């Protein structure tokens, strides 16, 4: 038997990044890449289905609705399962669901069955993002946690290009079924590779499974050391394991962090589903043809990986709270300028900038900041609640865009975008705490008022980093 604690956080946080961390990144990133690929393939597939007469606009709408409903339920359920059953069980379970459902979709006999399959794909798609972003930080040292979370965001968001490009090559030549088959086979391959991925020692320790946690930690330490002497473990002040429930997220002291996480998710998803996905339509309304609008939209979409790449470079330098505040203010200004742009060229430049800023917020906010705000015992539940709120805003935002565009044009649409970003800034100023380069245990244990004013280097346990 091991002692009453294994100090999982302290032992992981003092490790230099190594082959082990790179493997974890690619195993989690592989599933999230396929998740994002599956989401983005909808546009090309639905276009092909409509042209062939296999589907209609009404059935296409049902397909999209079933995706969002599945993702909403999947995000919430993943949060519950992730804290109750473990990170490994949950990401394997949801990967199997959307992989098998994708394979089933490839053989769907009609559109109704494809819509049913898409609902189950959505369950896995919604869950993957919650568990993936919530898990990566539990393995990465504080000094580089923001950078590695941004790496994961970069891997995830690069799927937009690959999904669009492969759809262009595969759908006309082989047909739409091949797209679902590719995702299904890929998911099963990643599922197989992930079987050797360890459970989070932090989660095991929180459940009192100390022998298992210690065995995994020793394995990680041995692989990381590779014959070198590792830094000593600085034992942190004792922090009791808390028995938490879903309801504890909605009561003090966690309520303010829950409000913060939910607001960030809603604001970013309003920008994505209120502007990003509407760019081709906006450009066509400005007088461009379909081909030209898609060309300009493709140029703008390069801002997705560009934003995540910038996140890699700056996440651990500017911090999460102040970084998100500054980026959101810039995005609100750029959104206003886009609404008042007088040429397609200027709109393209501003659109690319807004794409970049949006996915930079994804890297800093959704991929990094939200999971950091909560303790191991309720990290996935909190991530699931916030993710569910984001999915709801993704459902509502397009409806608002239609109403606002009809009544006042693109300027009114951009006013919603700017308003959501300003709200996020206000909530960050009031409730935000800085988590940059702090251990996850310290962020959870230290009161918010101390985190607001105490430099990270002055907190116990961070003096080595």
Same domain (yes/no): 316, 435? yes
**How high is the pLDDT of residue 459?**
42
Using the CB atoms, write b or e for 294-321: b if 16+ within 10 Å.
Answer: bebbeebbebbbbbbbbbbebbbebbbb
Q: Which of 196, 228, 260 is the last residue of a domain?
A: 228
Same domain (yes/no): 159, 286? no
Same domain (yes/no): 318, 175? no
Same domain (yes/no): 285, 213? no
Q: For residue 348, what are the CA distances in angstroms to 7, 297, 327?
A: 51, 8, 19
Q: Quick one: how far is CA 412 from the chain centroid?
A: 28
Q: Are 190 and 31 in contact (CB under 8 A)?
A: yes
Same domain (yes/no): 151, 286? no
Same domain (yes/no): 214, 348? no
The residue with tokens 């049913």 is 116
**How high is the pLDDT of residue 225?**
87
Residue 63, in any domain of the structure: yes
Q: What is the CATH number of the domain that holds 390?
A: 1.20.1250.20
Determine which of 123-127, 191-195, 445-449 has the lowest per-residue pLDDT on average: 445-449
Residue 103, in any domain of the structure: yes
Residue 461, in any domain of the structure: no
**How high is the pLDDT of residue 465?**
37
Same domain (yes/no): 160, 270? no
Considering 96-105, 233-242, 341-350, the range whose residues carry the highest mean pLDDT is 96-105
Same domain (yes/no): 224, 249? no
Same domain (yes/no): 177, 256? no
Residue 236, in any domain of the structure: no
16-65 confidence digits (pLDDT tens): 999 999 999 999 999 999 988 888 787 778 878 887 888 887 888 888 88
Residue 156, in any domain of the structure: yes
Q: Are 240 and 400 in contact (CB under 8 A)?
A: no
**Domain extent at residue 383:** 245-455
**Cis preceding-peptide flag for 253 (omega within 30 of 0):** yes
Comparing 445 with 13, the larger pLDDT belongs to 13
Residue 460, in any domain of the structure: no
How many domains is the chain built from? 2
Same domain (yes/no): 285, 428? yes
Give residue 338's pLDDT band: very low, low, confident or very high (50, 70, 90): confident
Give residue 79's pLDDT band: very low, low, confident or very high (50, 70, 90): very high
Same domain (yes/no): 211, 360? no
Same domain (yes/no): 190, 267? no
Residue 462, in any domain of the structure: no
Residue 240, in any domain of the structure: no
Average pLDDT value over all residues in the chain = 86
Q: Is the pLDDT of residue 127 over 70?
A: yes
- DSSP H helical ranges for 275-302: 279-285, 290-301
């Amino acid at each position: 038997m091991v002692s009453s604690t294994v100090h999982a956080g302290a032992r992981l946080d003092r490790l230099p990044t190594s082959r082990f961390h790179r493997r974890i990144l690619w195993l989690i990133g592989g599933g999230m890449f396929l998740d994002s690929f599956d989401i983005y393939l909808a546009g090309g597939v639905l276009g092909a289905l409509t042209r062939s007469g296999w589907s209609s606009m009404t059935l296409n709408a049902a397909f999209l609705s079933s995706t969002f409903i599945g993702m909403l339920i999947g995000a919430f359920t993943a949060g519950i399962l992730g804290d109750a059953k473990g990170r490994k069980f949950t990401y394997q379970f949801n990967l199997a669901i959307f992989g098998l459902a994708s394979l089933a979709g490839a053989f769907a006999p009609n559109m109704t069955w494809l819509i049913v399959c898409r609902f189950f794909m959505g369950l896995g798609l919604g869950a993957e993002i919650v568990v993936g972003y919530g898990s990566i930080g539990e393995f990465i040292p504080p000094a580089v946690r923001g950078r590695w979370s941004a790496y994961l965001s970069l891997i995830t968001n690069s799927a937009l290009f690959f999904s669009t490009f492969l759809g262009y090559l595969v759908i006309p030549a082989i047909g739409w079924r091949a797209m679902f088959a590719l995702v299904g086979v890929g998911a099963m391959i990643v599922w197989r590779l992930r079987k050797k991925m360890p459970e989070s020692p932090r989660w095991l320790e929180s459940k009192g499974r100390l022998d298992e946690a210690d065995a995994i930690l020793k394995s990680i330490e041995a692989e990381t050391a590779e014959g070198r002497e590792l830094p000593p473990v600085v034992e942190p002040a004792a922090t009791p394991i808390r028995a938490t429930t879903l309801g504890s997220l909605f009561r003090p002291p966690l309520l303010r962090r829950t409000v913060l996480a939910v607001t960030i998710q809603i604001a970013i998803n309003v920008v994505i589903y209120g502007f990003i996905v509407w760019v081709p339509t906006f450009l066509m309304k400005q007088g461009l043809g379909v081909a030209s609008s898609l060309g300009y939209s493709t140029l703008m979409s390069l801002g997705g990986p560009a934003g995540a790449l910038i996140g890699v470079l700056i996440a651990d330098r500017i911090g999460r709270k102040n970084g998100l505040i500054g980026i959101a203010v810039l995005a609100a200004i750029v959104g206003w300028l886009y609404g008042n742009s007088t040429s397609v060229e200027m709109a393209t430049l501003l659109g690319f900038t807004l794409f970049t800023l949006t996915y930079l917020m994804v890297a800093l906010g959704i991929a990094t900041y939200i999971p950091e705000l909560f303790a191991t015992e309720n990290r996935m539940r909190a991530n699931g609640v916030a993710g569910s709120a984001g999915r709801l805003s993704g459902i509502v935002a397009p409806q608002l865009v239609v109403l606002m565009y009809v009544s006042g044009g693109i300027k009114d649409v951009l006013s919603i975008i700017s308003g959501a970003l300003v709200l996020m800034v206000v909530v960050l100023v009031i409730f935000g705490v800085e988590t940059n380069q702090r251990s996850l245990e310290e962020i959870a244990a230290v009161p918010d008022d101390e985190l607001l004013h105490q430099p990270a280097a002055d907190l116990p346990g961070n003096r080595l980093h």
